[in-house]
Amino acid sequence: MKSKLKIIAMVLLFLFIAIQVYQPTLNVDKGQVYQTDFIQSSNVPIEVGNILRTSCYDCHSNNTNYVWYDYIQPARFLVENHIKSAKEDLNFNDWGKYSNRKQERLLTSIKKQIKTGKMPLPSYTLMHKDAELNNAQIKILTSWLEEQE
């Protein structure tokens, strides 16, 4: 029985090491200044911009701030899939490329998701406590978003 457990443990260890070889492309475009970026093109107040960068931009932009465990599979695979999905819905760096109608729809959606606590995702704030929005930050964001409508 002990030898079977040893073999299973060795196979699992081998598989864990083997999957580390697969490393998707990082979502990092450091130093790039986007003229189409939401904060740049929408004259976002500094306080609102700081909240968005901390709580939203890791997934919804072309610049993710990775932490050490984001480089370990299978977490890396999950993180990259999450980022890809998030950017398909909204990429703040591409804001100026969106039509006015899409921008209006996204502003409404952002406000609603912040108010209902759907964003940032609880799975994200579990590991990124600084991204969790407190009541004051929610009020700042939603008030500013309402002014934009």
Dump pLDDT digits (tens) for 10-51: 888 888 887 787 777 777 777 676 789 999 888 899 999 999
Give 110's Cβ-side CA count (13 Å radius). 29
Q: What is the pTM of this model?
A: 0.82
Contact 27, 80 (CB under 8 A): yes
Among 3-12, 85-94, 95-104, name the one with the lowest average pLDDT: 3-12
The dihedral built from the CA positions of residue 82, 48, 133 and 147, taken in this order, carries a sign that is: negative
> 12 is in which domain, residue-wise?
2-148
The count of structural domains within the chain is 1
Tell me, what's the pLDDT at 32? Answer: 72
Contact 20, 72 (CB under 8 A): yes
Tell me, what's the pLDDT at 123? Answer: 86
Region 129-148: mean pLDDT is: 94
Characterize 60-96 residue by residue with b for buried, 16 or more Cβ atoms within 10 angstroms of its Cβ, and e for exposed: bbbbbeeeeebeebeebeebbebbeebbeebbbbbbe
Dump pLDDT digits (tens) for 42-93: 889 999 999 999 999 999 999 888 888 888 888 888 889 899 999 999 999 9
Closest-CA residue to 128 (of 69, 28, 55, 59) = 55
